[in-house]
Amino acid sequence: MKRISLLMLSLWITLSMTAQQTGYYNGTQGKSGEELKSALNDIIQGHTSYSYFFSKEIFKLSDADPLDPNNVIQVYTGFSHDNTDYGNGGLQLNREHVWAKSHGNFADMPPMYSDVHNLKPSASTVNQDKSNLDFDNGGEQHDIATGCYYTDSTWEARDEVKGDIARIIFYMATRYEGEDGEINLEVVDEINTYPLPEHGKLSTLLQWNLQDPPDEFEINRNNVIYSFQKNRNPFIDNPNYAQLIWGGASVNPISIDYFNMQPELVYATEPVSIEATIINTDLQPMSVSLFWGLDFESLTNEVSMSATGDIYSCSIPGQAEGVTVYYKIIATDAVNEQTSVVYNYFVQKVFTGTITSIYDIQGQQDDSPYDGQVVSTTGVVTANFGSSYFIQDGYGEWNGLFIYELGRNPLVGDSIVVTGTISEYYGKTEMSEITGYYFISSYNDLPDPLPVQTGLIEEAHESVLVKVTNAICTDDDYLANFYMWAVDDGSGDLKIHNTNLYEFEPVQGSYYDIIGAMNYDFDEWKIELSPGYTVTAGTDTEGPIVSEVSPLSSTNIRVLFNENVEATTAENISNYVINNGVVIESVVQHTFNKTQVNLTVTPLSGDYEITVQNVEDLYGNVMEPQTFPFSYLGINELLLQGKVNVYPNPSVDWVNISFVSAEAFDLEINMADMSGRKLISMSYDASEGGNDIKLDVSSFDAGIYLLSLSGEKGMLNYKLIIR
């Protein structure tokens, strides 16, 4: 819990550096209807898409209870609830799709399904009742979310979030216009249009937008999500956009557009020049002022703006480092008034302390010599995953460091100084409990990735940007292995992690070149995939290798290669030779698994060698001749030359079976009379070493019976007399 609370403390610093940048909505003034909607779409589309699973982490910041940072506020109940308690019972948390995912059927379709602007923490039982209902007023009061009302087709949100809900629906209808394989979502003045990609009811949502304007909680949520996704909900920044697009509002004759700020990076005491293009289509004289302050809701300092043609400008006085300056422009004539959105900028902090290099922090050893100490270091961001990021100071070994900090979200290529506590987190050197963050510059060149071999990863590679080349995928089932797949360049397997930001669909047997940050957790090395470092097809220049030879029975052998092999050469019987007089009768490639062939042979019993040659892979590479040893024990050899004791024989009430096995195997025991009628049929897990089995034959008639002991490797038969 200590880690979480410290991160919440740093949240406000983080957001002040990433909130609404000057000019974000340039090009939207003077527009309405579809023209405005299209302009906003151009601004907010193509956002950074995180996984649906990771939304839980973003909620910890976006929907945090201001009075308890370890809780989130449930959207419909308003209850404060433990931010880790997800489940399907009672008040446990669900992730509510405000625009119901069934309205357009976009379940599991990125980026729509995981867009956090459309997700809210909700009580499970309430979420189930809300289901995929449209939004409208009226109905029966909900017994848990008592501020909400519902019918069989509509849901009325509580008053405190009516506007929040409306603005989320407006966002979805604007963000998703059917481009790049996405679904075209439309808000309509109807209900019951499911499963069409439509949501209602528009007239009610427009009313809610006016009734419940954005509050501090909603504004903070927009800032948090922007820090992750790099796009904003325009209808929170300017609720009037909704009225201009869908509500029939008239365009104000005064437009304030095309903001510009100089310098772009602001330092302490440095005045900042703000200019904007301001036009009055009524051609009336205007009074234009900029209002600024250090609090979003207290812009009390006024500066008159001077005009050069349509360009108005002024300066905001220099401020102390580490503060965020908020500002807006208000232009008025005798009839109309226009207010811009509120923009802001951060006054950068300048680091004046002592730098400890990443190389020294790593210490060229397993555990950092700075373990438990607070240090400051510098580097370029090489990867960011929302809850953590990697930095590196130059090329090569020992120069990377993992930073654990939820919500900072620096850009890859940012040069930074960061202060925090060094620790060994389950064997990985990391920095956490961040107390200082200093931005230097953006768009820096990244260090070249360090070439590594998949099976030879060591401590020096930890958190370093690396590259593996021509590595074959040996396991593509990442869904069964915590989103990790495996590759091997001939030196051994290495895990590749499909992350919250980047998923790749590998194909087993294919070759890949892979770049990413090398991570160490859960006692294994893995490359973390992230945007910008695409997985590319490698060039296979090596012939196939036999990886396994397994007798499946005394006459059938499975041969596995390390990659898919070409059918003609794989099924050529002359490419396989077994010693000790074994004759290969046929070779057949598996119908689906093209790395496998099965050999039908004369009966096996003992130790052998198989030589395989001239088999090609799908790229025409021919294997080198390879000899592979294998063994097959028939049941006689398995049971130490068939030394099975069946006694007493003749028997009266009980038959004992005693044997010593060379290995564990599944044994089937059957007893039948001379007519073939089966009287006993049972399975027995034979163990390595001594085994004793007792059969009850007290109910059997006197006579002669046949006892059989069978397994994969053969059968032994015994004649048994019962008196």
CATH of the domain at 566: 2.60.40.1220
pLDDT higher at 376 or 18:
376
9 in any annotated domain: no
Q: What percent of the chain is predicted at pLDDT more than 90?
A: 83
11 in any annotated domain: no
Neighbouring CB atoms inside 10 A of 415's CB total: 18
299 in any annotated domain: yes
**205 and 165 assigned to the same domain:** yes
User: What's the pLDDT tens digit per position in 79-110?
Assistant: 999 999 999 999 999 999 999 999 999 999 99
165 in any annotated domain: yes
Q: Given 245, 276, 295, which residue is the final one in a domain?
A: 245
User: What's the pLDDT tens digit per position in 203-213?
Assistant: 999 999 999 99
**234 and 294 assigned to the same domain:** no
User: What's the pLDDT tens digit per position in 119-170?
Assistant: 999 999 999 999 999 999 999 999 999 999 999 999 999 999 999 999 999 9
State the pLDDT confidence band at 6, using cuts at 50, 70 and 90: very low
Sheet holding 311-316, edge to edge: 254-262, 272-280, 311-316, 306-308
How confident is the model at residue 638, as a pLDDT? Answer: 76
How confident is the model at residue 632, as a pLDDT? Answer: 82
121 in any annotated domain: yes
Q: What is the dihedral of CA 633, 636, 641, 644, to 10 degrees?
A: 130
651 in Cβ contact with 697 (< 8 Å): yes
CATH number at residue 431: 2.40.50.140
Q: Is the pLDDT of residue 420 over 90?
A: yes
Q: Determine which of 35-44, 71-80, 196-205, 550-559 has the lowest per-residue pLDDT on average.
A: 550-559
**567 and 627 assigned to the same domain:** yes
Q: What is the dihedral of CA 92, 95, 98, 104, to 10 degrees?
A: -130
How confident is the model at residue 376, as a pLDDT? Answer: 98
**525 and 552 assigned to the same domain:** no
Contacts of 12 (CB under 8 A, 6+ apart): none
Quick check: helix, strand or coil at residue 150?
A: strand
**700 and 662 assigned to the same domain:** yes
State the pLDDT confidence band at 16, using cuts at 50, 70 and 90: very low
Q: What is the mean pLDDT of residues 670-683?
A: 89
Contacts of 721 (CB under 8 A, 6+ apart): 649, 650, 651, 703, 704, 705
59 in any annotated domain: yes
Q: Is the pLDDT of residue 1 over 70?
A: no
User: What's the pLDDT tens digit per position in 551-606?
Assistant: 888 899 999 998 899 999 999 999 999 999 999 999 999 998 999 999 999 998 88
Q: What is the mean pLDDT of residues 514-534?
A: 94
pLDDT higher at 662 or 237:
237
**193 and 85 assigned to the same domain:** yes
81 in Cβ contact with 41 (< 8 Å): no
User: How many residues are present in the chain?
Assistant: 723
Q: What is the mean pLDDT of residues 447-459?
A: 96
When the pLDDT of each residue in the chain is averaged and rounded to a whole number, the result is: 93
How confident is the model at residue 542, as a pLDDT? Answer: 83
Helix axes 2-18, 55-62, angle to 10 degrees: 80
14 in any annotated domain: no
Residue 722's DSSP bridge partners are: 651, 703
Q: What percent of the chain is predicted at pLDDT more than 70?
A: 97
**492 and 522 assigned to the same domain:** yes
**43 and 189 assigned to the same domain:** yes
State the pLDDT confidence band at 19, using cuts at 50, 70 and 90: low
8 in any annotated domain: no
State the pLDDT confidence band at 634, using cuts at 50, 70 and 90: confident
**142 and 189 assigned to the same domain:** yes
Q: Report residue 443 as tokens.
A: 């768009």
Q: Given 508, 537, 566, which residue is the final one in a domain?
A: 537
Q: Given 632, 649, 667, which residue is the final one in a domain?
A: 632
Angstrom distance (rounded) from CA 354 to CA 436 = 13
User: What's the pLDDT tens digit per position in 301-311?
Assistant: 999 999 999 99
Q: Is the pLDDT of residue 445 over 90?
A: yes
State the pLDDT confidence band at 59, using cuts at 50, 70 and 90: very high
How confident is the model at residue 14, as a pLDDT? Answer: 41
State the pLDDT confidence band at 9, using cuts at 50, 70 and 90: very low
How confident is the model at residue 641, as a pLDDT? Answer: 59
pLDDT higher at 227 or 715:
227
381 in Cβ contact with 409 (< 8 Å): no
How confident is the model at residue 713, as a pLDDT? Answer: 75
User: What's the pLDDT tens digit per position in 250-277?
Assistant: 999 999 999 999 999 999 999 999 999 9
Q: What is the mean pLDDT of residues 520-538?
A: 91
**628 and 640 assigned to the same domain:** no
**180 and 86 assigned to the same domain:** yes
Angstrom distance (rounded) from CA 376 to CA 617 = 52
How confident is the model at residue 538, as a pLDDT? Answer: 83
Structural domain span for residue 698: 636-722
Q: What is the dihedral of CA 278, 281, 286, 287, to 10 degrees?
A: -40
Domain count, the chain: 6
Q: What is the mean pLDDT of residues 606-635?
A: 90
How confident is the model at residue 642, as a pLDDT? Answer: 62
Angstrom distance (rounded) from CA 306 to CA 328 = 15
pLDDT higher at 551 or 528:
528
CATH number at residue 303: 2.60.40.10
User: What's the pLDDT tens digit per position in 326-335?
Assistant: 999 999 999 9
For CA atoms 19, 24, 30, 34, the dihedral sign is negative
List b or e across 386-400, with b for residues whose CB sees 16 or more CB atoms inside 10 angstroms: bbbbbbbbeebbbbb
For CA atoms 582, 585, 589, 591, the dihedral sign is negative
**264 and 196 assigned to the same domain:** no
Q: What is the mean pLDDT of residues 48-57?
A: 95
